[in-house]
Amino acid sequence: MLKMNRRLIWRCATTVAWCFCVAMVFQGEQPQVAADEGFSMFVWPNLAPGETSLEVGTKQPNRPDEKPPVTRVVQIRRPGLDIFLPEKNPSGAALLILPGGGFGKVVPDKEGSEAAPWLNKLGIAAFVLRYRTNEVTPKDEPAFLRPLQDAQRALRLIRANAKKWNLKPDRIGVLGFSAGGQVAAILHTAEGRAAYESLDQIDEQSCHPDFSLLVYPWRVFDTATDALLPEIKITKATPPAFIVHTHDDASTSLGSVLIYAGLKRNGVPAELHVYQNGGHGYGMRAVPNSDIGTWPDRATEWLNRRGLTNASEQK
């Protein structure tokens, strides 16, 4: 009987704790812990710029032909961060990860959290951003604008909590995949110019990344002008970058090549890899009959050379 009572008390206690956490979310408080992915927090204190809803997003059904499955989240009005910190020997560096999804959805695992174990092993903290999707975006507003605002706020949030997370504020970069790569390319060259009005002390922090990894950035090449998107303006103040694309990607590698050329012309350290094949949307996963699955190895070497990893952890 005593054992049964203890079990009952434990179940009641955990139920109360869970209900309390849910209540805090609905009251607008930022939960300290979420699920089994470390812990998460919201990017904005309440409504994001231009939003009227606090909807955190809806997960679409998995596609039966995808193994392992790929998560796709739509209807994100209140963006959040999934946070993955190294368990030991942190380097002080961090990467804000911007997943792909064509702006209509966000893919937080294949192009997000699956990069965290790799980065954490290098001593690098990983922050996966579930930025806003474009269901309510006006036709005259660029699809990248709200994700860009979310990314800039997230960079500032990371820097504002640098001491808490054992980070160095001048070693905070961005890793962008596909549509997230387009946002990252614009963010990379914005020279710290924010795309929204400041809200609080967090916005006193810089929203300029110290380095970037651009992985198959989507539609950064404007075929009408045969040039980069006008929002991507590379100068001598642009940070170093590591860039990956494939020759057979329908979202042409010419954009990545032009980004690299602009960095080269301005004397900015950069590295470009264009693989023969592999298509688009591979994230951290290997592709049959392609070498594209080796890109994290090349990125590791680049990060090591820039002193951003805990090199002693490497074999």
Is residue 26 domain-shared with residue 55, that is, in the same domain?
no
pLDDT at 249: 97
Q: Do residue 13 and residue 71 come from a single domain?
A: no
Does the bond joining 68 to the residue before it have cis omega, within 30 degrees of 0? Answer: yes
How many domains does the chain contain in total? Answer: 2
Say yes or no: 8 and 154 in one domain. no
Looking at the structure, do residues 82 and 187 belong to the same domain, yes or no?
A: yes
Q: What is the pTM of this model?
A: 0.87
Using 50, 70 and 90 to split pLDDT, how confident is the model at 315? Answer: very low
Assign 251 a pLDDT band (cuts: 50, 70, 90). very high
Per-residue confidence (pLDDT) for residue 67, from 0 to 100: 87
189 and 153 share one domain: yes
**Whether residue 85 has pLDDT greater than 60:** yes
Tokens of 187: 């963010």
**Residues 157 and 208 both lie in one domain:** yes
Let me know whether 158 and 190 are in one domain.
yes
Do 43 and 24 have their domain in common? no
Give residue-wise pLDDT tens across range 184-236.
Answer: 999 999 998 999 999 999 999 999 999 999 999 999 999 999 999 999 999 99
pLDDT at 256: 98
pLDDT of 24 over the 90 cut: no
Q: Is the pLDDT of residue 274 over 50?
A: yes
Do 153 and 8 lie in a common domain? Answer: no
CATH code of 133's domain: 3.40.50.1820
End-to-end CA distance of the chain: 54
Write out the H or E segment, with its range, that includes residue 310.
none
Structure tokens at 54: 């606090």
With beta carbons less than 8 A apart as the criterion, state whether 39 and 83 touch: yes
Q: What is the DSSP string of 189-247?
A: HSTT--SS---SGGGGS----S-EEEES-TT-EETTTTEE-TT----TTSPPEEEEEET
| Mean pLDDT confidence for 31-36 | 34
Domain coverage including residue 307: 35-313
Contacts (Cβ under 8 Å, ≥6 apart) of 30: 41, 42
Burial group, residue 187, by CB count within 10 angstroms (0-12, 13-18, 19+): buried
pLDDT > 70: what percent of the chain?
86
Mean pLDDT of the chain: 89
Residues in the chain: 315
